[in-house]
A and B are shown apart, each in its own frame.
Chain A
Amino acid sequence: MSVATAVDRPSPAKPTPSPPRRRPGRGQGTYLLFLLPGAVLLLAVVLVPFAMNVGISFTRWSGVGDPRWIGLENYRRLFADAAFWASFRHNVGLLVAMAVLPTAAGLLVAAALFDVVGKRFGPRAAGVLRACVYLPQVLPIAVAGIVWSWILAPRGGALNAFLDAVGLGSLARDWLGDPDIALYSVMGVLAWIQLGYPVVVFMAGMQRIDPVLHEAAELDGASWFGRFWHVTVPQIRPEAFVVLLTCSIAALKVFGPIYVLTGGGPGGATTVPSYSSFQNFFEKTQVGYGAAIATVLTVLVLVLTTAFLRVQNRGEER
Chain B
Amino acid sequence: MFARVLAALLVSTTVLAGCGGSAGDSDPGTLKLWHYESPDSAMGIAWNAAIAKFEATHPGVKVQFEEKGFEQVQKTAPMVLNSNEAPDLLEYNKGNATTGLLSRQGLLADLTEQAVARGWDKRLSAGIQTTARYDERGVMGSGKWFGVPNYAEYVTVYYNEDAFAARGLAVPTTLAEFTAAMDAFVAAGTTPLAVGGAEYPAQQILYQLALSKADRDWVDRYQRYTGDVDFHDEAWTYGATTFAEWVAKGYVGPESSGMKAEDMGVAFIQGKYPIMVSGTWWRGRLQSGIKDFQWGSFPWPGSRMGIGSSGNLWVVPEGSRNKELAYDFIDITLSQEIQDKLRDAGGVPVAPGGSQPTDPAVRTLIDEFDTLVANDGLAYYPDWPAPGFYAVFVSATQKLITGGATPDQVLDEVAKPYAENRATLGG
Interface of A with B (CB < 8 Å)?
1-2, 4-5, 60, 62-65, 68, 149, 152-156, 174-179, 182, 262-268, 279-280, 282-286
B234 at the interface (CB under 8 A from A): no
B404: CB under 8 A from chain A? yes
List of B residues within 8 angstroms of A62 by Cβ: 78, 101, 105
Given contacts A265-B398, A267-B405, contact A4 B254 (CB under 8 A): no
Contact B74 A282 (CB under 8 A): yes
List of A residues within 8 angstroms of B41 by Cβ: none
Q: Give a binary string over B2-22; 1 marks a CB under 8 Å from any A CB, 0 the rest.
A: 111011001000000000000
Can you spell out 16 A-B residue pairs with CB atoms less than 8 angstroms apart?
Answer: A1-B2, A1-B3, A2-B10, A64-B78, A64-B102, A149-B258, A156-B272, A174-B255, A182-B258, A264-B395, A265-B258, A265-B398, A266-B197, A266-B402, A267-B395, A283-B388
Contact A64 B3 (CB under 8 A): no
Query: What is the bound-complex CA distance between A155 and B97, given in angstroms?
Result: 36
In the complex, which residues of chain B have a beta carbon less than 8 angstroms from the beta carbon of A280? 388
Which parts of B253-267 form the interface with A (CB within 8 Å)? 254-260, 263, 267
A155→B198 contact, CB < 8 A: no
The answer to the question of B125 belonging to the interface, with a C-beta cut-off of 8 Å to chain A, is: no
Q: How far is the CA of A60 from the CA of B426 in the complex (A)?
A: 12
Shortest distance from the beta carbon of B43 to any chain A beta carbon, whole Å: 23
Within 8 A of A (CB), among B193-237: 197-199
Q: What chain B residues lie within 8 Å of A175 (beta carbons)?
A: 258
Whether B82 is near chain A, meaning CB under 8 Å from some CB there, is yes
A177-B388 in contact (CB<8A): no
In angstroms, how far is the closest chain B Cβ from the Cβ of A273? 15
Out of B78, B106, B107, B394, which one reaches A263, CB within 8 Å? B394
Known: A60-B427, A64-B105, A177-B258. A267 touches B263 (CB 8 A): no
Interface string of B53-95 (1 = CB under 8 A from A): 0000000000000000000001100110110000000000000
A267 and B398 contact, CB distance less than 8 A: yes
B394 engages A153 (CB within 8 Å): no
In the bound complex, how far is the Cα of B207 from the Cα of A301, in angstroms? 41
Q: Known contacts A2-B6, A177-B259; is A265 also within 8 Å of B388 by CB?
A: no
Chain A contacts of B10 at CB under 8 A?
2
Range, interface on chain B: 35 or more
A-B pairs, 10 with minimum CB distance: A177-B258, A284-B388, A154-B255, A177-B257, A266-B398, A267-B399, A176-B258, A64-B78, A64-B105, A284-B387
Cβ-based interface call for B390 (8 A): yes
Report the Cα distance A149→B272, complex, angstroms. Answer: 18
**What string of 1s and 0s marks CB contacts (under 8 Å) between B102-127 and chain A?**
10111100000000000000000000
Given contacts A265-B394, A266-B258, A284-B387, contact A65 B3 (CB under 8 A): no
- Which of B97, B197, B260, B267 is close to A285, meaning CB atoms less than 8 Å apart? B97
Cα(A149)–Cα(B198), bound, Å? 11
Q: Are A178 and B394 in contact (CB under 8 A)?
A: no
Q: Is B391 an interface residue (CB 8 A)?
A: yes
CA distance A66 to B267 in the complex (A): 47
B74, B254, B404: the one contacting A267 at CB < 8 Å is B404
Given A265-B257, A267-B398, A267-B404, do A64 and B107 touch, yes or no (CB 8 Å)?
yes
Give complex CA distance A182, B263 in Å.
17
Q: How far is the CA of A26 from the CA of B101 in the complex (A)?
A: 59
Q: Give complex CA distance A155, B260 in Å.
A: 12
Query: Most chain-B CB neighbours within 10 Å: which of A266, A283, A285?
Result: A266
Closest to A279 in B: B388
B182 to chain A, nearest CB (A): 18
Query: Beta-carbon contacts of B313-342 to A below 8 Å, as 1s and 0s?
Result: 000000000000000000000000000000
List of A residues within 8 angstroms of B79 by Cβ: 63-64
Q: What is the distance, in angstroms, from B67's C-beta to the closest C-beta of chain A?
A: 18
Find chain B residues with CB under 8 A from A153 CB. 258-259, 263
Nearest CB of A to B424, in Å: 8
- Min CB distance B48 to A, Å, is 27
CB-based contact B198/A179 at 8 Å: no
Chain A residues with Cβ below 8 Å from B263 are 149, 153
A175→B263 CA distance, assembly (Å): 14
Question: Please, which residues of chain A bring their CB within 8 A of the CB of B257?
Answer: 174, 177-178, 265-267
Residues on the A chain within 8 Å of B105, using CB? 62, 64-65
Complex Cα gap A68–B104 (Å): 15
Complex CA gap A263/B102 in Å reads 27
Q: How far, in whole Å, are A182 and B388 apart by their CA atoms in the complex?
A: 22
Most interface-central of A1, A4, A64, A175 (chain B CB within 10 A)? A64
Q: Which residue of A lies closest to B138 (CB)?
A: A62
Known: A176-B198, A264-B391, A266-B395. 7 other contacts (CB 8 A): A64-B101, A64-B105, A153-B258, A176-B258, A265-B258, A265-B395, A267-B395
B399 A155 Cβ-Cβ under 8 A = no
What CA separation (Å) do A175 and B198 show in the bound complex?
13
| Interfacial chain B residues near A176, Cβ < 8 Å | 198, 258
